[in-house]
């Protein structure tokens, strides 16, 4: 069973999410909270697999709570929900450690699928957001953060092949596409990806993209 905690300051919405998730045979809602501060307590008590949390709440918002939970409870994956498709919320939540950013207008089926996907260790982002994320970093990361020494400091932890795989990930390639481009088995690509994430402390591919653009890694220079 995938154990989930639901956090939203609106009782009706919170109950609705819980009912949707509990209706699936693979998911169990083990706790609820009305703000980020309460979420910290409930997560500490229940250690869920997935936390579903609203962005805008009193006392403590979803992004701040996500940052704390990602640091203190790395085994809990976070899905951030919001009514507003604002870049600042999306980027803020992903940088804080969330594995998914979804609009509240998403369908019940998509919500259930998102919970199952992040529980398996993957990331989920609303369509088009990954492209926005890349565009955002291309336009806003200061030139000083793209200095060669910043790249070397991070990439020095990786083998040359792992650097190639990371660069391909930053360029938006799937494991299958990386396998084809580098002419290695998909199982080998998966092993490289897991090694990269472990060495760099990355939670998933979205955060690999964030890191890549923060250090000025150029996905156009593969091979």
Q: Which residues contact 19 (CB under 8 A, 6 or more apart)?
A: none
Among 107, 58, 51, 108, CA closest to 80 = 51
2-32 pLDDT, tens digit each:
999 999 999 999 999 999 999 999 999 999 9
pLDDT, position 134: 54
Show Cβ contacts of residue 149 under 8 Å, excluding neighbours closer than 6 positions: none
Of 55, 13, 60, nearest to 35 (Cα)? Answer: 60
pLDDT in tens, 51-75: 999 988 999 999 999 999 999 998 8
Task: For the domain made up of 141-221, give the CATH fold.
Answer: Arc Repressor Mutant, subunit A (1.10.10)
For domain 2-130, which architecture applies? 3-Layer(aba) Sandwich (3.40)
Domain ranges of the chain: 2-130, 141-221
Element (H, E) at 80: strand 77-82
Q: How many residues in total does the chain contain?
A: 223
Report CA Rg, the chain: 18
| Nearest-angstrom CA–CA distance, 32 and 18 | 8
Please, are residues 203 and 97 in contact by the beta-carbon 8 Å criterion?
Answer: yes
pTM for this structure?
A: 0.67
| Alpha-carbon torsion angle 166, 163, 181, 205, nearest 10 | -10
3 state DSSP class of 9: coil
């Amino acid at each position: 069973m995938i154990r989930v905690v639901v956090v939203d300051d609106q009782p009706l919405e919170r109950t609705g999410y819980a009912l949707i998730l509990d209706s699936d045979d693979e998911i169990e809602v083990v706790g609820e909270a009305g703000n980020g501060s309460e979420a910290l307590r409930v997560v500490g008590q229940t250690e869920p697999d997935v936390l579903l949390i609203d962005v805008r709440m009193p006392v403590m918002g979803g992004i701040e709570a996500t940052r704390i939970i990602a640091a203190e409870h790395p085994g809990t994956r976070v899905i951030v929900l919001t009514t507003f498709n604002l870049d600042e919320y999306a980027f803020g939540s992903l940088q804080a450690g969330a594995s998914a950013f979804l609009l509240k207008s998403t369908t019940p089926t998509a919500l259930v699928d998102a919970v199952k996907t992040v529980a398996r260790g993957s990331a989920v982002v609303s369509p088009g957001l990954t492209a926005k994320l890349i565009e955002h970093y291309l336009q806003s990361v200061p030139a000083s953060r793209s200095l060669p020494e910043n790249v070397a400091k991070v990439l020095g932890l990786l083998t040359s092949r792992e650097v190639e795989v990371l660069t391909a990930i930053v360029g938006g390639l799937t494991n299958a596409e990386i396998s084809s481009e580098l002419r290695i088995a998909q199982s080998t690509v998966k092993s490289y990806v897991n090694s990269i994430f472990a060495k760099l402390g990355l939670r998933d591919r979205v955060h690999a993209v964030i890191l890549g653009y923060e250090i000025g890694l150029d996905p156009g220079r593969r091979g």
